[in-house]
Amino acid sequence: MTRAEILAKDKKYPVISPSQIANPEDVILRSLMALFFSGLLWIVFSAAVNFQVVPQTIFFGAIVLYAFARHGPNHSFVRAKLQLKAKGLDIKSPTLKTIMPWNWLTKVEIRHRSFDFIPNYVYFEFKNKSDVLILWEDVRDDMDQTTLISCVRTWAPHAEIRGDASIAKAESMATYTELWLKDLSSAKSESRHRKGEVIENGAVLFESYKVEKLLSGGGQGTAYLASVLPHADFADMPPQVVIKEFILPQNERGMQKARESLNKEVTILRRIDHPRIIRLYDFFIEDMRGYLVIEYVDGLTFRQFVEKNGLPTESSVAEMAISLCKTISYLHQLSPSIIHGDVTPDNIIIEKDGGVKLLDFDAAQELTRNKTNTVVGKHSYMSPEQFKGMLSESSDVYALGCTLHFLLTGFDPEPISESFPKKINDTVSDAINEIVSKATRLDQSNRFLNLDAMRAQLEQL
């Protein structure tokens, strides 16, 4: 017994049993029989009309026409109509014109093959021994197998569905979308020039950047430290830059999309010119990979800093927070304003001299994001309205509050809830605890009005 049969036994839905439904011999035999009987009929009639030519011919023509209308090999002149309604099957065919209730249905046979010498059909059998055969040709504008099977499953779960062997195989319903996607996405391996995962040191990218070494840390993809060769397009580029790499899907559409979103992102980022925000210099696409050229900063992210050096003092946290407030409100004051949307300990870098720099290239974020509706983010730092997809300036206030919570306690705050760093770390003062909790209120209207208000509070410390 196959697995399908075992399942069919104890399930309420009978599994589609692939089988040979109409065998060609049957059809041929039936048409031969029809031919024989019509010939017999013709001889009898011809004898009746004394073998006169004209009525004989007319009668013969009528027989042929009727035979084709009824059993024509590919098409029937009488079109059947089938509608599936909640009440039952609304059938209008030459043999049956009623609404058959669903609970009368006992058996459905679906024949569906691409070789259509014998026409494809669907055959219904009912409790009262009546049955009807409808050609797919007649109903194919209205439904496909999937709809039919879904209807039968929903309204007549006990009916047996017998399907062609091919139903369960190649030409299934997945074809519409699947085939062209396959067509467009598959490509041979030769088209990627570089097979290795990592670029060797000394390789030159885009004729402008020489890779020096692989950068570690971050965990968000591959990044290289590179030196800028003299013929790079940018005049004011520093001697060393970071190149972030991501691999593009290997099809035309994907490349086009990636280029579009990169172009869009770069036009936004060009407007940003702030010493406390890391700059994006260039982007390029080479060998089915996208590259972002960004400023190189020698420092640690907040998270790395806390792991390495322990918690910073409260006054230095306040100092950094004030600096961040200024930086982010610079973004908000641009017109049209930019909302960072991803202020987390991983996106803020402490430089060697103690300055705080904000990473801002949403491009990389956007491109390495799994799906449009998927958050590959840090849930802890996302405000409720951001979850709902309504990003606003106060989302950055929320995220900054959460970041302060991390700096004060060393732990990520609990997602979607007001944070109180004092609960975890007793040494936190009431004043800053108050600020963090006010910044992370769930209701936007209860938070700080904007970052300037938050800064004012922080400066009072």
Please report, as residue ranges, which positions from 90 to 109 form the binding site for another protein (by CB under 8 A): 101-102
Q: Which CB atom, from 62 or from 449, has the smaller least distance to another protein?
A: 62
Q: Does 229 bind another protein (CB under 8 A)?
A: no
Q: Does 158 bind another protein (CB under 8 A)?
A: no
Inter-residue contact 397 to 450 (CB < 8 Å): yes
Q: Up-side HSE of residue 118: CA atoms within 13 Å toward CB? A: 16
Interface residue with another protein among 28, 40, 198, 449 (CB under 8 A) is 198
Site for another protein in 232-251 (CB under 8 A): 233, 246-251
Inter-residue contact 339 to 328 (CB < 8 Å): no
Burial of residue 145 (number of CB atoms within 10 Å: 0-12, 13-18, 19+): buried
Residue 227, classed as helix, strand or coil, is: strand
Q: Does 316 bind another protein (CB under 8 A)?
A: no
Inter-residue contact 358 to 347 (CB < 8 Å): yes
Q: Among 187-195, 347-355, 402-410, 419-427, which window interacts with another protein (CB under 8 A)?
A: 187-195
Site for another protein in 135-154 (CB under 8 A): 138-147, 149-154
What are the phi and psi torsion angles at 428 (to 5°)?
-70, 135
Q: Which CB atom, from 195 or from 352, has the smaller least distance to another protein?
A: 195
The CA-based dihedral angle spanning residues 110, 111, 112, 115, taken in that order and rounded to the nearest 10 degrees: 180
How far apart are alpha carbons 411 and 424 in whole angstroms?
9
What are the phi and psi torsion angles at 267 (to 5°)?
-65, -35
Interface residue with another protein among 120, 132, 163, 306 (CB under 8 A) is 163
Q: Does 218 bind another protein (CB under 8 A)?
A: yes
Burial of residue 210 (number of CB atoms within 10 Å: 0-12, 13-18, 19+): middle
Q: Does 37 bind another protein (CB under 8 A)?
A: no
- Interface mask toward another protein for 371-400; x: CB under 8 A: xxxxxxxxx----x--xxx-----------
Q: Does 84 bind another protein (CB under 8 A)?
A: yes
Q: Does 415 bind another protein (CB under 8 A)?
A: yes
- Output the six-digit token pair for 454: 């938050």
Q: Which CB atom, from 21 or from 322, has the smaller least distance to another protein?
A: 21
Q: Up-side HSE of residue 399: CA atoms within 13 Å toward CB? A: 27
Interface residue with another protein among 2, 44, 129, 188 (CB under 8 A) is 188
Least distance from C-beta 250 to another protein, angstroms? 8
Site for another protein in 267-296 (CB under 8 A): 282-288, 290
Count of residues near another protein by CB under 8 A: 121
Q: Does 266 bind another protein (CB under 8 A)?
A: yes
Q: Does 35 bind another protein (CB under 8 A)?
A: no
